[in-house]
């Protein structure tokens, strides 16, 4: 195998390496005389089991030795030994990678060998860059919260959420998104996902049977609503947002939409469409549910205010920290018209007895101290730069590419001329070359009539250098065909 084939551009912090890292930890704990052997066994096992995927770059020996607290010689010996055995591939002066010679032992439960090259670059819309999570600020706030919490605060929390968090959220959402609400209208919940299921359950209890969803839209929504007894009816999205006339025809009285930055097309709901949708809600005694999943991030202008602010009686609003902090927190909010607060909170109580109180207190602390705003600014800077890098790299390698949707959020829609297609083949060729892609068709749209290749590319989770490399690699994978 040549150096090209083994990811010379890979980073030591790649997902494959992280997944294998814990297998190596016993090395540090082993008696001094056995450490070399333990490290070699652990590396062999990591490659054999697939946890260290073929093509994953290993850290330089000096770095790994420092991390494991062993001598550098011990690591270089291990690399040399495993290279000789075929588990690793080394190129002098360039680095060491996991090789692809090893096969899982039958019946060991290890994953089957990959039919294609492991994805070295993932350009699917994967969300936030989790390395931007403010670990030390979160940890410090957690300590402060624990130090001052009375014993009683360790009991079951208010199912609507901690009052101090709801107050902070109302201030934040009014200031940044133009949301109009009293703290009593906020229910703290496990992200947008839970907000939608709580609201779905509540409205199912009030006789609703259908919910209109955007097409294209988030792929999971029909199943989520099915689980709470609602049938999802897809409604087309055009260049102005959710099609209000088509919505009318569904007969639904409940609709979920992403007005700030439609997912996935990236369209911003126009002022005219906003008023048509609000008219629909007023005429039909309907409710619009505004999923403001990435509304904080707009790069060409101030973010457009929330639809909710135009009619708080007709629009419920939901968002979360999944794009600004981390999805692992499962921390989000639902703002509902006053009449829905109690029924929604009752379901929250029934399902999980309230949201984890300590995490809520930590978020309230970050909000109070202005640290959450700082985090938003930091993400905004990073993501704006990454979007620019993506657009520039596409311009260089795919001059015919069109990037559509407003400059916002964490993903973009990219369309390539039909000569690159069909889409399925394009995605497959990219996968074989180590680049994972998501076709727009996966969000419920048929293929484009003109045969063009439409992709939903995520840019926020990759550092700028990796993004540029990913696009260059993509060009390499498809060049032969597109000329």
Ligand X SMILES: Cc1ncc(COP(=O)(O)O)c(C=O)c1O
Q: Which residues bind ligand X (CB under 6 A)?
A: 127, 191-193, 218, 258, 263, 291, 293, 320, 322, 327, 332
Helical ranges in 117-188 per DSSP H: 135-148, 163-177
Peptide bond into 322 cis (omega under 30): no
Shortest reach from residue 326's CB to ligand X, in Å: 9
Shortest reach from residue 277's CB to ligand X, in Å: 17
Shortest reach from residue 440's CB to ligand X, in Å: 14
Assess contact for 321 and 169: CB atoms under 8 A.
no
CB closer to ligand X out of 192 and 439: 192
Q: Give the DSSP H/E element, type plus range, for residue 173.
A: helix 163-177
Cα–Cα distance for residue pair 409/321, rounded to 1 Å: 13
Assess contact for 183 and 231: CB atoms under 8 A.
no
Shortest reach from residue 461's CB to ligand X, in Å: 11
> What does the DSSP assignment read for 31-58?
-GGGHHHHHHHHHHHHHHTTSS-TTPBP
Shortest reach from residue 88's CB to ligand X, in Å: 36
CB closer to ligand X out of 56 and 320: 320
CB closer to ligand X out of 193 and 430: 193
Neighbours of 340 (CB within 10 A): 20
Phi/psi at 356 (5° precision): -45, 120
Q: Which residue from 144, 164, 167, 50 is spatially nearest to 100, judged by alpha carbons?
A: 50
Assess contact for 259 and 287: CB atoms under 8 A.
no
Q: What is the length of the chain?
A: 483
Shortest reach from residue 331's CB to ligand X, in Å: 8
CB closer to ligand X out of 442 and 476: 442
Give me the residue label for tokens 């005389």.
33
CB closer to ligand X out of 125 and 433: 125
Give me the residue label for tokens 């790994």.
64
Assess contact for 402 and 414: CB atoms under 8 A.
yes
Shortest reach from residue 198's CB to ligand X, in Å: 12
Q: Is 82 exposed, middle or buried (0-12, 13-18, 19+ CB in 10 A)?
A: buried
CB closer to ligand X out of 214 and 469: 214
Shortest reach from residue 245's CB to ligand X, in Å: 23
CB closer to ligand X out of 96 and 322: 322
Strand 435-436 to strand 121-122: parallel, antiparallel, or no bridges (unpaired)?
parallel
Q: Give the DSSP H/E element, type plus range, for residue 166.
A: helix 163-177
CB closer to ligand X out of 427 and 456: 456
CB closer to ligand X out of 291 and 311: 291
Cα–Cα distance for residue pair 283/269, rounded to 1 Å: 20
CB closer to ligand X out of 56 and 324: 324
Shortest reach from residue 87's CB to ligand X, in Å: 37
**Residue with nearest beta carbon to ligand X:** 191
Neighbours of 15 (CB within 10 A): 14
Shortest reach from residue 328's CB to ligand X, in Å: 10
Cα–Cα distance for residue pair 321/355, rounded to 1 Å: 14
Tokens of 408: 């916002």
Phi/psi at 402 (5° precision): -115, 130
Cα–Cα distance for residue pair 76/133, rounded to 1 Å: 33
CB closer to ligand X out of 27 and 320: 320
Shortest reach from residue 208's CB to ligand X, in Å: 20
């Amino acid at each position: 195998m040549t150096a090209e084939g083994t990811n010379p551009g890979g980073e030591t912090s790649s997902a494959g390496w992280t997944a294998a890292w814990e297998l190596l930890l016993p090395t540090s704990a082993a008696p001094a005389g056995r450490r070399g052997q333990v490290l070699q066994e652990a590396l062999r096992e990591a490659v054999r089991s697939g946890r260290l995927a073929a093509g994953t770059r290993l850290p330089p020996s000096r770095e790994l030795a420092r991390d494991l607290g062993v001598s550098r010689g011990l690591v270089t010996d291990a690399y040399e030994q495993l290279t000789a055995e075929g588990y690793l591939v080394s190129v002098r002066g360039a680095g060491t990678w996991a090789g692809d010679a090893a096969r899982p032992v039958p019946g060991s439960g290890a994953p089957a060998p990959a039919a294609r090259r492991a994805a070295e670059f993932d350009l699917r819309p994967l969300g936030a860059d989790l390395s931007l999570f403010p670990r030390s600020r979160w940890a410090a706030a957690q300590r402060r919260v624990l130090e001052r919490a009375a014993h009683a605060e360790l009991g079951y929390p208010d199912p609507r959420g901690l009052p101090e968090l709801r107050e902070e959220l109302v201030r934040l959402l009014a200031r940044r998104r133009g949301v109009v609400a009293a703290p009593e209208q906020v229910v703290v919940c496990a992200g947008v996902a839970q907000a939608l299921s709580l609201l779905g359950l509540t409205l199912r209890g009030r006789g609703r049977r259908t919910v209109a969803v955007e097409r294209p839209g988030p792929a999971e929504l029909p199943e989520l609503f099915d689980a709470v007894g609602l049938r999802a009816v897809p409604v087309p999205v055009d260049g102005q947002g959710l099609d209000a006339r088509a919505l009318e025809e569904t007969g639904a009285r409940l609709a979920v939409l992403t007005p700030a930055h439609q997912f996935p097309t990236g369209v911003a709901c126009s002022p005219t469409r906003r008023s048509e949708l609000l008219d629909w809600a007023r005429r039909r005694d309907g409710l619009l549910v505004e999923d403001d999943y990435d509304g904080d991030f707009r790069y060409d202008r101030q973010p457009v205010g929330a639809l909710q602010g135009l009619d708080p009686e007709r629009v419920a609003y939901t968002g979360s920290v999944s794009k600004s902090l981390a999805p692992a927190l499962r921390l989000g909010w639902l703002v509902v018209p006053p009449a829905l607060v109690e029924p929604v909170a009752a379901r929250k109580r029934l399902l999980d007895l309230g949201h984890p109180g300590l995490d809520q207190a930590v978020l309230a602390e970050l909000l109070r101290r202005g640290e959450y705003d700082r985090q938003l600014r930091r993400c905004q800077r990073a993501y704006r730069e990454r979007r620019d890098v993506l657009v520039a790299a596409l311009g260089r390698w795919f001059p015919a590419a069109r990037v559509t949707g407003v400059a916002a959020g964490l993903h973009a829609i990219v369309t390539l001329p039909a000569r690159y297609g069909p889409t399925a083949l394009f995605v497959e060729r990219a996968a074989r070359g180590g680049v994972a892609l998501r076709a727009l068709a996966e969000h419920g749209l048929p293929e484009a009539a003109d045969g063009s290749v439409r992709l939903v590319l995520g840019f926020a989770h990759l550092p700028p250098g990796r993004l540029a490399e990913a696009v260059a690699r993509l060009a390499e994978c498809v060049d032969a065909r597109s000329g």
